[in-house]
Structure 1
């Protein structure tokens, strides 16, 4: 059985996480280009969709991957571009679109509402737009990274059988935002490095949209700028713009762990057990065990959005099981297998990965 072996000098979760934040991925840096669409929501807010530009025209009903980025991220992130170099290029050649949430992916907002983990209606509306554009018969799979995976799984749990997605993939999901945040604030390193850095990124997006955000009467600029942790930022901004009485209530409401047992499409969840941000203690094991639609993969190493392997020029192992699962789901939906030559090329590209023993993928 093929398994994940971390880069020898990146064996700790902290090292994997920090390397992920500075990883250049030069092989994918300029290979993937996008065509952007601005998305106007029914409530007046806005976001954007970045469609990966194919090398050649794609046939009608080409399987399509819908991607949700992490906190303050976007289509520019190296973990997204690296995956697209495999999925959106020959021989696999699927269509892919990145959903940039409010204020993310260098998309300015026009209402005082930024990226919010509790809001699934935005993604729901974006998905309707995507489905209309690619056609009702086009199979869609959603994949979320970090906080984006929490939004995806929360959406899937709310929608149950009604989602147009045939499957979902969750990577480095925090699952329980309140528990993960408490853990992060308790550790000196996690509070003063990870939480501080992420709060800084949130403040930068706020400042890029300062004039619009300050039209919300309850948000005070000085309080936002004084935030040194995610919790302090959410208390000064997110709680107010989303009308929560406390930050804890926001975290509870936003956590996908509340609804994951209601997911009714095949869902692959991959988390590293040494992830210092999306901690293993927050994985809702009991809820996953009672849901036969979910496959949970926990690796001993990998950090947060890391999973780097090889000593020389490390690259992400995680792209391989993602690609394998995606191909299997699209083929199961269409009933069409890859031709022999394409299958061999795909196998060489992603190297077959077999998952550990888990609950069955389809309901009994």
Structure 2
């Protein structure tokens, strides 16, 4: 009787082990047996994950007092993370050919320690209105860039702050959207010139995850990223909008909060945008219309601003927010990704609706891990006894940092990436450009300086 009862309980109790979706036909990777070794084997993405990312094969149980996706997501906002995962940065400013400026935050700072030229670099894209100060960014960057002798990976990291975010100066009549990949593309060109021997590994959160996934699909085997991980990627913006705008609770809580942050960010940069946008242009009119909005929903903001002034060139201005969502989604690009990509989503994420399971199954370069719990960029768990990483309120830590750090080590230190055909960089009229794509280009400009990672923009659902 006891055996039958045990089997019954095991059959119906919830499982907390992440569900892993692998491709039906694997792609094969050239993989070093050891870091810096010339001895290689041919293996599959599944073998790499099962052999080196063991955390994805084990249970993730959220801490008991943060049981659901809404609460996990909410704790991302109200939790005090100012005393944990401290990260300081050196900021570099890049001027782009279109007149815009990128704020690139590097850690560890040059004054803190010197790393070799071939040290792996984690390239980070943050969430909707965030920046390098966000707690979820620091939670992974801190152990990644901690010296090996102190238990970290000893890597370098660079956070690409969206235009107008985290104090990045606005020098063109354009901010950013979830579909634009050129700013990431030019930041990677800069890194390739600065550290030509360093493997570049992408890390994206939420909207930044969408940008990285789109970039990988657009570039195919020309990606400057050797591999990437994307967390809480929204994938299908049309279906996400239907969920957030079509339900009263989601509309009043999430849609309004996200729009409030976007409107705050736009108002912060409004004076510069007004000066830079020529009168009577779509951008100038969109700015005036959007600044008049009172307590808008997310779609209201995207109708007034994003779909119109997302860029000063085609396909903008667009006819509707839905047209922008259709264009910007990353799920449609999954089939063309040609470098290893680990995707982690939570099934109780209140912001992300549909996941590209079928698309993943058809691409040997992509694995999707879905946790039962975790919310949007939460994944809080109870720390193990004696865990020095867990500080702050009630000693929580983010579970997701463990598989991501395993993924970094598995790819940055072992993956060869022989299938890539990376375009040449050269100087043209004072700009560094990429052969075959000369419309893009950058040059470093004065400014930047020190950035203290825990000092950022506060606000409801900031960075999500």
TM range (shorter): 0.7 to 0.9
Q: Does residue 1:63 correspond to 2:120, yes or no?
A: yes
Query: Are 1:164 and 2:229 an aligned pair?
Result: no
Match of 2:43 in 1: none
Residue 77 of structure 1 aligns with which residue? Answer: 134
Other structure's SS at 1:304 match: coil
Which residue of the partner structure matches residue 269 of structure 2? 209
Q: TM-score, structure 2 length as denominator?
A: 0.69
Name which of 238, 250, 254 aligns with 1:194.
254
Once structures 1 and 2 are overlaid, which stretch shifts more, 20-29 or 64-73?
20-29
Give the conservation status (yes or no) of the 8 Å contact 2:98–2:172.
no
2:95 to 40, 60, 63: 40
Q: Please give the alpha-carbon distance, in whole angstroms, between the structure 2 residues aligned to 1:47 and 1:142.
A: 17
Please name the residue that 2:172 is paired with. Answer: 111
Displacement of 1:19 after TM fit?
0.2
2:85 corresponds to 1:18: no
The counterpart of 1:150, out of the listed 175, 193, 210, is 210
Task: Indicate if the aligned counterparts of 1:109 and 1:212 stay in contact, CA closer than 8 A.
Answer: yes
Q: How does 1:1-364 map to 2 (within 5 A)?
A: 1-28=57-84, 31-54=86-109, 55-91=112-148, 92-134=153-195, 136-214=196-274, 215=277, 216-224=283-291, 225-226=293-294, 228-242=296-310, 243-279=317-353, 282-310=354-382, 312-333=394-415
State the 1:27 CA deviation.
4.1
Across the aligned residues of Structure 1 and Structure 2, the Cα RMSD in angstroms comes to 1.6
SS at 1:283 equivalent: coil
**Count, aligned residues:** 331
Asked if 1 retains the 8 angstrom alpha-carbon contact of 2:124 and 2:159, the reply is yes
Deviation at 1:222, TM superposition (A): 4.5
Moved more, 292-301 or 118-127: 118-127
Computing the radius of gyration over CA atoms, which structure comes out larger, 1 or 2? 2
What is the CA–CA distance in structure 2 between the aligned matches of 1:220 and 1:164, rounded to whole Å?
35
Query: CA separation in 2, counterparts of 1:177 and 1:51?
Result: 30
Q: Distance in 2 between matches of 1:34 and 1:223?
A: 33
Scaled by the length of structure 1, what TM-score is found? 0.87
Unaligned 5+ runs, structure 1 = 336-364
8 Å Cα contact 1:28/1:85 also seen in 2? no
- Rounded to whole Å, the distance in 1 between the matches of 2:88 and 2:415 is 28
| Rounded Cα–Cα distance in structure 2 between residues aligned with 1:125 and 1:253 | 21
- Kept in 2, the 8 Å contact 1:74–1:100? The answer is yes
Q: Answer yes or no: is the 8 Å Cα contact 1:139–1:333 preserved in 2.
A: no
- 8 Å contact 1:74–1:104 — kept in the other structure? yes
Q: Give the Cα–Cα distance (whole angstroms) in 2 for the partners of residues 38 and 227 of structure 1.
A: 33
Deviation track 1:16-64 (CA, whole Å, cap 9, x = no partner) reads: 00001122224435x3100001121111111210001254211121000
Q: Is the 8 A contact 1:66 1:140 kept in 2?
A: yes
Q: 2: CA distance between counterparts of 1:3 and 1:155?
A: 31
Alpha-carbon contact 2:117-2:197 (below 8 Å) kept: no
Q: Deviations 1:272-320 (Å, cap 9, x if unpaired)?
A: 00000012xx211111110011111000000000000017411100000
